[in-house]
Amino acid sequence: MLADLRSDDFAGLVNERFHVHAGAGVPLDAELVEVTDLEPPRAAEPGRADPFSILLRVTGDAPLPQRIYEVEHPRLGTLSLFLVPIGREDGSFLYEAVFN
């Protein structure tokens, strides 16, 4: 469940491959390039996970629109993540998912 995920769950997966299901049958290969801890809100609920973000790099000719995608990894399983395109780098597009 997404609410149970912590930045530590992703930290050991930097540079590993994920698969993004964007329709059209074949999933896109993605690489986890960054995990960033974010400042918790001042009125954070006790026991709630601290917020963090992940950055995925996907090679492609055109950016994917921001929306929820099924993202797979062998250890994490399939996650429904809201991906937002945030830039382009060396023929790839960068997408951010924020967990809060």
Instruction: Answer yes or no: is 73 within a domain.
Output: yes
For residue 6, is pLDDT > 90? yes
The model's pLDDT over 66-91, given as tens digits with 9 standing for 90+, comes to 999 999 999 999 999 999 999 998 88
Contact 10, 33 (CB under 8 A): no
Instruction: Answer yes or no: is 92 within a domain.
Output: yes
CATH number of the domain to which 25 belongs: 2.40.10
Structural domain count, the chain = 1
Instruction: Answer yes or no: is 76 within a domain.
Output: yes
Average pLDDT over residues 16-25: 90
Instruction: Answer yes or no: is 44 within a domain.
Output: no
Contact 78, 2 (CB under 8 A): no
Q: Which of 32, 95, 37 is nearest to 66 (CA)?
A: 95
Instruction: Answer yes or no: is 62 within a domain.
Output: yes
Q: At CB < 8 A and 24+ separation, what contacts does 28-31 make?
A: 28/58, 28/59, 28/60, 28/64, 29/58, 29/59, 30/56, 30/57, 30/58, 30/71, 30/95, 31/56, 31/57, 31/58
Average pLDDT over residues 9-26: 92
Domain that residue 56 falls in: 2-39+49-99
Instruction: Answer yes or no: is 17 within a domain.
Output: yes
Task: Note the pTM of the prediction, 2 decimals.
Answer: 0.89
Residue 24 pLDDT? 74
Residue 16 pLDDT? 98
Cα Dmax for the chain: 44
Question: Confidence band (pLDDT; 50, 70, 90) for 39?
Answer: confident
Instruction: Answer yes or no: is 19 within a domain.
Output: yes
